[in-house]
Structure 1
Amino acid sequence: MRADARKNYSHLLEVARNVITEHGADASMRDIARQANVGLATLFRHFPTREALFEALLRTNLDALTQKASEFESSNPPDEALVSWFREGVAFVHSYSGVVALMANAHADPESALHASCSAVHSAGARLLLRAQAEGTARADMDGVDLFALMSALGWLVDQPSFAPRADHLFHVITSAILTNRPGNDVRKAT
């Protein structure tokens, strides 16, 4: 890619990130082009579909979340690694309103531009969960899909103004439901 094309591409991504952060995943491609001071055709030349734009925008974040799982796994006990990664995942989901539906659909659609990155995140979370389950510190009756659903639900909840002040409490409630045998946790080990 030529230097000027790379600069335009980066500029479009930066503007898209700002517009989507402000307006959510339903932000208009036309609004993104307008705020980037380019024509809609220029935006579509770089990103032929809305999903292609989101793939470029989210890939870095999703890849970083996958990498974080590996870092937490290698440096923390299984339960702590799972909780730390779960917190990172909730923060990511919360950062882009409407991204949950895109990720859920992409994970189920192998043809989606986001499929590989979403599958990697799912696998990373499932691996952390399995590790905690093997140690007996996570519920045995849940899987990676359940973990992703809880992360997504919590990310959506804390985006709602009436629940935002309770974000930390809700996080603790959810992680207490996932983990067993932790101080202050009323959930008993699943048998």
Structure 2
Amino acid sequence: MRADAQRNYDRLVAAARNAFAEQGADASLDDIAQRAGVGNATLYRHFPTRQALLEAVFREHIDALCRRAEELRAAPSPGAALREWLGEVIAHGSAKRGLAASLLAALGEDGSSCRAAVFEAAQGLLTRAQDAGEVRSEVSVGQVLKLVNAVALVTETEPDAGGQAAGLLDLIFHGLAA
């Protein structure tokens, strides 16, 4: 990428990060372009869809979640490892306004790089927990991710987001237990 194109890309991601933090995942793309000091065409050249921009903004968080899933694959209790990781997914989603919405949207897009990375990370932990008999075998990774992302969405603006999310995750995990 040319140096000026890279600068525009970086400015767009920074402006989008701020806009999403202030207004959520539905922040105006026109406003983001304006904040970055570029035209709409430049924004769309780099990010043809809102989802592509959301993924760029939250990529580092997705990568961190995927690294954490890899670390947890060696945990002695597969069920506890899955629960811990799901709690971290919720915490990331609740702490970063728009991340939960981005993840939830990515779950429905087959071509999404976020979807592929998160599904792979979650599938490894879920399969391990199912093989150990700690999680019901009929539960799919898509179902689990939708549940935890829903928790992140409904708790992200709550004063006690962490406490409420933990309680809801307990309920989810009770239902997942074999």
2:175 maps to: 177
Aligned: 1:142 with 2:145: no
Deviations along 1:8-65, one digit per CA (max 9) or x if unpaired, are 3212101101111221221111111122232223322322332332232233332332
Listed as ranges, the gaps of 5+ residues in structure 2 are: none
| d(CA) in 1 for partners of 2:91, 2:26 | 19
* Structure 1 residue 89: Cα displacement: 1.4
Between structure 1 and structure 2, the one with the greater Rg is 1
DSSP-derived class of the 2:48 partner: coil
| d(CA) in 2 for partners of 1:163, 1:41 | 41
Letter in 2 for 1:77: S
Aligned: 1:126 with 2:129: no
| 1:7-86 to 2 correspondences below 5 Å | 7-86=7-86
| d(CA) in 2 for partners of 1:101, 1:132 | 23
Q: 1:152 aligns with which of 145, 149, 155?
A: 149
Does the 8 Å CA contact 1:123/1:144 hold for their aligned counterparts?
no
Paired residues, what number?
174
* Structure 1 residue 151: Cα displacement: 1.1
Does the 8 Å CA contact 1:12/1:36 hold for their aligned counterparts?
yes
With normalisation by structure 2, the TM-score equals 0.82
* Structure 1 residue 101: Cα displacement: 4.1
DSSP-derived class of the 2:19 partner: helix
Letter in 1 for 2:30: R
Letter in 2 for 1:99: S
Does the 8 Å CA contact 1:83/1:175 hold for their aligned counterparts?
yes
Share of identical aligned residues, percent? 38
Q: 2:158 aligns with which of 158, 161, 169?
A: 161
| d(CA) in 2 for partners of 1:53, 1:38 | 15
Letter in 2 for 1:144: V
Aligned: 1:99 with 2:96: no
* Structure 1 residue 100: Cα displacement: 4.3
Distance 1:76 1:28, change over 3 A: farther
TM-align CA RMSD: 2.4
With normalisation by structure 1, the TM-score equals 0.77
Distance 1:70 1:105, change over 3 A: same
Does the 8 Å CA contact 2:97/2:156 hold for their aligned counterparts?
no
| d(CA) in 1 for partners of 2:160, 2:175 | 18
Listed as ranges, the gaps of 5+ residues in structure 1 are: 180-189
* Structure 1 residue 76: Cα displacement: 4.7
Deviations along 1:146-185, one digit per CA (max 9) or x if unpaired, are 2112111211121253883623322322233334xxxxxx
